[in-house]
């Protein structure tokens, strides 16, 4: 990517897992490390973009030049993304919890029967953003799949209203790991990239985003 290619562009990135509280000491989470999202935020900033990184709970350092807003739950992530608009592009890398539990005010106590969790669905931040009134010009989603990776990602692109879906096969050691094998699914078709370090996936994607934002026709 060219230095300064994203100067003056505001790009929103979500990363990490969400924590959905069960009671004051327990939560539902997932295995996302936030590494791929943080790498993307850093790569976009390195090309000159003003990056807002909305992050779930992770143990990573904020990449240079990135403005980070920490959240815990999917609902907080949705609200923070909405307040950060407008943006020229959005890259939704977070592994957002699909469900939340009703949070007990006091710590649940062990008893005769284990408690059951009544789950409700969380907002789909990507779909809301893509179908919303302040839609960024380029909306990129991720799809972590364990089977029929391209088929599921292609369907997801249309259903969620994203321009691109970066599909990755997480049946191996991708979540929490160092490398990633991804397919870039766009309206033009599918591009499969070789297995690359997450930093390299980030730089290539940032470079593609710079191309799209600087060659796309302006309204």
Q: 124: annotated binding-site residue?
A: yes
Angle between helices 198-215 and 35-46 (to 10 degrees): 50
Q: Does 14 bind ligand C5P (CB under 6 A)?
A: yes
CA separation, residue 18 to residues 32, 98, 122, 215 (Å): 9, 9, 11, 35
CB of 109 to ligand C5P, least distance (A): 31
Q: 142: annotated binding-site residue?
A: yes
Q: What are phi and psi of 36, to 5 degrees?
A: -65, -45
Q: Per-residue x/- marks for ligand C5P, 110-139, CB under 6 A?
A: ------------xxxxx-------------
Q: What are phi and psi of 73, to 5 degrees?
A: -100, 165
Q: Under rule CB under 6 A, which residues in 70-109 are in contact with ligand C5P?
A: 74, 92-94, 96
Active site residue 30: yes
Which of the following is catalytic: 30, 122, 168, 180?
30
Q: Measured from the CB atom, is 5 or 54 closer to ligand C5P?
A: 54
Q: 126: annotated binding-site residue?
A: yes
Contact 65, 86 (CB under 8 A): no
CB of 7 to ligand C5P, least distance (A): 26
Q: Measured from the CB atom, is 76 or 108 closer to ligand C5P?
A: 76
> Checking DSSP bridges between strand 50-55 and strand 138-145, what pairing results, if any?
unpaired
Catalytic residues: 30
Contacting residues toward ligand C5P, per CB under 6 A:
14, 74, 92-94, 96, 122-126, 141-143, 156
List binding-site positions: 98, 107, 123-126, 142, 156, 160
């Amino acid at each position: 990517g060219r230095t300064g290619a994203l100067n003056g562009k505001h790009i929103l990135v979500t990363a990490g897992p969400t924590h959905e509280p069960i009671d004051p000491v327990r939560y539902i989470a997932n295995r996302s490390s936030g590494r791929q999202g943080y790498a993307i935020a850093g790569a976009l900033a390195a090309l000159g973009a003003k990056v807002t990184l909305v992050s779930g709970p992770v143990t990573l350092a904020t990449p240079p030049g990135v403005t980070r807003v920490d959240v815990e739950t999917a609902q907080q992530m949705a609200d923070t993304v909405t307040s950060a608009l407008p943006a020229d592009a959005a890259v939704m890398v977070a592994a957002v919890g699909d469900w939340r539990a009703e949070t007990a005010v006091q710590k649940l106590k062990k008893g005769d029967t284990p408690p059951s969790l009544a789950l409700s669905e969380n907002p789909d931040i990507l779909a809301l953003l893509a179908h919303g009134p302040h839609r960024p010009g380029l909306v990129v989603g991720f799809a972590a799949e364990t089977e029929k990776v391209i088929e599921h990602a292609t369907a997801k692109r249309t259903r969620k209203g994203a321009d691109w879906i970066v599909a990755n096969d997480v049946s191996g050691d991708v979540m929490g790991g160092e490398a990633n094998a991804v397919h870039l699914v766009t309206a033009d078709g599918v591009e499969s990239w070789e297995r690359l370090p997450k930093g390299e996936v980030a730089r290539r994607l940032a470079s593609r985003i710079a191309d799209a934002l600087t060659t796309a026709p302006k309204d």
